[in-house]
Amino acid sequence: MIFTAPLLLLALLALPALYFLLRATPPAPLTQRFPAVSLLLGLKRTEETPARTPWWLLLLRLVAAGLIVIGLAGPVLTASRAPLGAAGPVLLVVDNGWAAGPGWAARMAAAEGVLGRAERGRRAVALLTTAPGPAGEAPSAQAPRAAGLVRSMLAALRPMPWPTDRHAALAALSKVPEGPVFYVADGVAGADDRGFAQALASHGPVTILAPAAPAPLLSVRAAPGGLVARVRVPASRVGRQMQVLAETGDGTLIGPTAVSIAPGAREGEANVALPQELRNQLSALRLAGLPGAGSVALLDESARRRPVGMMGGGGADAPLLGSLYYVERALAPTAELRHGTIGALLARPLSMLVLADRPLAGPEAARVGAWVEQGGLLVRFAGPALAAAPDGLLPVRLLEGDRALGGAMSWSRPVALAPFPRGPFAGLPVPAEVTVSRQVLADPASVAAAEVWARLRDGTPLVTAARRGRGEIVLFSVTANADWSNLPLSGLFVSMLDRLVSRSAGIEAVSPSQRMAPAQVLDGEGVLGEPNPAAVGFIAGAIGQVAISPLHPPGFYGPAHDRVALNLGDRIVPAAMEAVPGAVVEGLAQAPRDVRLGPAAVALAVALLLGDFLATLGIAGLLRPVAVSLLLLAAAGGARAEESPALATHIAYVLTGDPEVDRISKLGLEGLGDYVNDRTAAVLAAPAPVVPGRDDLSFYPLLYWPVTANATLSPSGVAALNDYMRHGGVILIDTESGGGSFAPGADAALKRVSEGLQIPALAPLTGQHVLAHAFYLLSDFPGRYDGATVWIAKDQDRSNDDVSPVIIGSNDWAAAWAEDEDGRPLFATIPGGQRQRVLAFRFGVNLVMYALTGNYKGDQVHVPAILERLGQ
């Protein structure tokens, strides 16, 4: 143990003085007025008043004072007394590549521990970082200097988003005099690891401080139905669990999705299933709790979905034969598909419009034409109808009629496709089995003005395209079903449509020669920011060959509307680092660390002084009153929390024992309460959960009882509910089954639990009933479901003010009323619509009014008659 401020220990010399001072001062007595003091004065001889503090109190205070002095002197318990090994300056090597991002603080703490040891050993320290700097400078070693100076350099050190360059570090290593080596490693392999490891081993005794689990690497790819997050790690003996968060462009985090890597496995995958709208907004996936460039997978346009409208001729939806059948199946995994009329489709933003054998004429043609001019991508498939009535929205002029190849009356054979020329389909493999047996023909004169994206072997254009304004029109000269060719049956068709979709949305396809300048790059902690000084762009066509380095850090590249993501996860295969021969490996957690005892000593002193305070109170006889008053205060505080349910109007709901159902009941009645409070003079407090037979029901005018399939009711509960109904309570029994189909078994359960209940004869609730016009005029009474009959007492009981004691339905009203904290409904209404929810709330308002005011509205019917009679 050492002291950082040993001079302060001199203050311990003052303790004896303190001892005499404390000894001479007895604790102040409590003063008490007392009439019989003369009797006490007579006693004075028998009891000697001690003029001195009790010895144990004195000891307590002295120990406390001593602890304060020692604590302020800054004792430090040095965990490792091990010498730093060989002579020479200490070489501290820190991996600061992307893999050091997760757990950077722990690495810095470990490095700090090494500095502390070097400082105590009065050894110079040389710092060597292995990753290139942000300006692209190669790793370099500083000349050995005092540990205190290195500490400030260490504090300025940040992880870099690119891999380490141990080869360059090797060159820097040779400039450092030999000595012990401490290597804060990231555990991930890099270039020329072996040479670096050997150089370290020959430099001096090596201690490796490495985390137990190296940093994982996240990558993402689009898949049918969502995104697939893939996490790769160097092979590891233990399994790992990670959480993937999806991040939208405005920073909202969605998720998490769990990814697990089995023991021994090198990677794990998880499907990130998200609603389409959200998927289109995503900008990145992240590994939760692991900040680092490798833990972020940026999403560019290639992962986005684009809405595609489609429309075909008659019978377009027929399986296997319909004109849109294959298009739909090809696009569904990667695009959002919409059907409808031209007007409906173009009413919303659309990236691409597919028209299969559908001639356009009149206002439709004008509408589509305008849309294309504004940047839409119109994809048309030929067919008999189009061949008969070609219109103007085609890239080429069609010759009348079509060409048939390989028919029964023809010598020719179906023709296969030629390799794709330059264009969006360039590079797609052409399967030999794809043939075309019939097609429409373009006027050769007009083909010259259009682009030909695909040809048959005989040179006939198959896919032609032409620009119109900012948009494009693409024509497939065959049908979109298998009538004219087997192209729609092949995988090629899917790839072609995918390329078309990614070309759409008004986005210029990146020309391979375009230079992609860095727009936003990740830093070593996985945060997007300004590009580092060294970052330069690359040619779009060469993105496959770009290696992540200070020149090309991971991030977004290219113009704002056409960003391309460069991800570490797509470029690097993580592997375990080469072992350094003869090195001692320590975990980051076990790295020797100094323990500062000062704060603990001072805290102990404060605790002792508190004890001294209590002891003084005890000597003065005040301990018990203080404790009692504190207890009383606590009890008073606790007692105040209890509030009688009679002080406000509460609606109650019966607890079912199913927490989800109870939660919906609570949220539903809260939502209804808000609605009622907003719109009526009734003021409802928070809904109260009750158990019939246990809680007193007499405070609640209305009881909501969701009956689930496994509902039970105790005999005491039956008695309580009967009593409740007899004395004017209203029970809304809801089987939440929507007429039986949504919650099987609930009706049987209702029969079971209502056996002992005195339910009057029931009749369907109609618009004539008071309940239907207690506040709003209602003719049906939907909840989450609509249409199920609602039952109410048939005969009106004068003794109970004509109020039906029970209302039985299955429309799941609580779910319709349930809202989250922001007032948004939690459950969709079925069949749906805002109107149904409004009606559900109105039914609730009527119900509350009915329970609170009885047949008041029924009496209102007679008001004109009464007024008339009064007038006479």
Partner 1 sequence: MVAAERVAATVAQGVHGRRRVGVGDSFWQYRPFVEGDAASRIDWRRSARSDRAYVRDMEWEAAQTVCLWRDGSASMDWRSGKGLPEKRERAELLLLAVASLLFRAGEQVRLIGVPGRVFRGRGATRPLAESVAVLREGVPAPASLPGWSRAVLFSDFLGDLEAVRAAVGRLASQHVRGHLVQVLDPAEIALPYAGRVRFLGLEHEGAALISRVEAARGAYRAALAERQAALREIAARAGFGFLLHVTDAPPEGALLALYSALAHPVAAA
User: By the criterion CB under 8 A, which residues form the site for partner 1?
Assistant: 26-27, 29-44, 46-50, 618-622, 624
Separation CA 733–CA 817 (nearest Å)? 15
- Of 630 and 861, nearer to partner 1 (C-beta) is 630
> For residue 739, is it left (φ>0), alpha (ψ between -120 and 50) or beta?
left
Smallest distance from partner 1 to CB 809, Å: 60
- Of 39 and 865, nearer to partner 1 (C-beta) is 39
How far out from the chain centre does Cα 845 lie? 36
Residues 6+ away with beta carbon under 8 Å from 652: 687, 688, 689, 690, 695, 697, 699, 700, 702, 703, 704
Read out DSSP for 149-205?
HHHHHHHT----SS---HHHHHHHHTTSPP--EEEE---B--TTHHHHHHHHHHHS-
Smallest distance from partner 1 to CB 26, Å: 8
Phi, psi at residue 253, to the nearest 5°?
-100, 135
Task: Identify residue 710 by its one-letter amino acid code.
Answer: N
**Long-range Cβ contacts of 318-322 (<8 Å, 24+ apart):** 320/481, 320/482, 321/481, 321/483, 322/481
Q: Which residues pair with 308 in a beta bridge?
A: 337, 352
Smallest distance from partner 1 to CB 43, Å: 5
Smallest distance from partner 1 to CB 58, Å: 16
- Of 195 and 618, nearer to partner 1 (C-beta) is 618
CA-to-CA dists, residue 785 to 294, 703, 738, 828, 870, angstroms: 48, 20, 5, 9, 46
- Written as six digits, the tokens of 781 are 């009474």
Smallest distance from partner 1 to CB 718, Å: 49
Separation CA 534–CA 131 (nearest Å)? 14
- Of 38 and 872, nearer to partner 1 (C-beta) is 38
Coil, helix or strand at residue 289: coil
- Of 23 and 151, nearer to partner 1 (C-beta) is 23
Smallest distance from partner 1 to CB 687, Å: 43
- Of 46 and 799, nearer to partner 1 (C-beta) is 46
Decide the pairing of beta strands 435-436 and 806-809.
unpaired
Rg (CA), the chain: 41
- Of 370 and 623, nearer to partner 1 (C-beta) is 623
- Written as six digits, the tokens of 616 are 């003084």
Smallest distance from partner 1 to CB 612, Å: 15
How many Cβ atoms from other residues are within 10 Å of residue 281's Cβ?
17
Residues 6+ away with beta carbon under 8 Å from 493: 326, 330, 487
Coil, helix or strand at residue 607: helix
Separation CA 70–CA 72 (nearest Å)? 5
- Of 35 and 823, nearer to partner 1 (C-beta) is 35
- Of 51 and 156, nearer to partner 1 (C-beta) is 51
Smallest distance from partner 1 to CB 624, Å: 8
Report whether 709 contacts 737 (CB < 8 A): no
Residues 6+ away with beta carbon under 8 Å from 301: 502, 505, 507, 562, 563, 564
- Of 573 and 622, nearer to partner 1 (C-beta) is 622
- Of 49 and 768, nearer to partner 1 (C-beta) is 49
- Of 45 and 81, nearer to partner 1 (C-beta) is 45
Report whether 433 contacts 504 (CB < 8 A): no
Nearest to 656 by CA among 621, 705, 698, 695: 705
Smallest distance from partner 1 to CB 18, Å: 22
Phi, psi at residue 380, to the nearest 5°?
-120, 140
CA-to-CA dists, residue 605 to 66, 329, 599, 609, angstroms: 8, 75, 10, 6
- Of 52 and 862, nearer to partner 1 (C-beta) is 52
Smallest distance from partner 1 to CB 609, Å: 20
- Of 56 and 411, nearer to partner 1 (C-beta) is 56
Smallest distance from partner 1 to CB 44, Å: 6
Separation CA 668–CA 818 (nearest Å)? 4
Smallest distance from partner 1 to CB 633, Å: 17
Smallest distance from partner 1 to CB 64, Å: 22
Report whether 760 contacts 804 (CB < 8 A): yes
- Written as six digits, the tokens of 389 are 């009535």
Report whether 854 contacts 803 (CB < 8 A): yes
Smallest distance from partner 1 to CB 119, Å: 54
Smallest distance from partner 1 to CB 51, Å: 9
Separation CA 346–CA 323 (nearest Å)? 20
Task: Identify residue 444 by its one-letter amino acid code.
Answer: P
- Of 8 and 615, nearer to partner 1 (C-beta) is 615
- Of 619 and 709, nearer to partner 1 (C-beta) is 619
Separation CA 583–CA 204 (nearest Å)? 10
Smallest distance from partner 1 to CB 694, Å: 39
Smallest distance from partner 1 to CB 619, Å: 6
Residues 6+ away with beta carbon under 8 Å from 392: 365, 369
- Of 51 and 867, nearer to partner 1 (C-beta) is 51
645 DSSP assignment: G
- Written as six digits, the tokens of 381 are 């498939």
Smallest distance from partner 1 to CB 45, Å: 10
- Of 32 and 545, nearer to partner 1 (C-beta) is 32
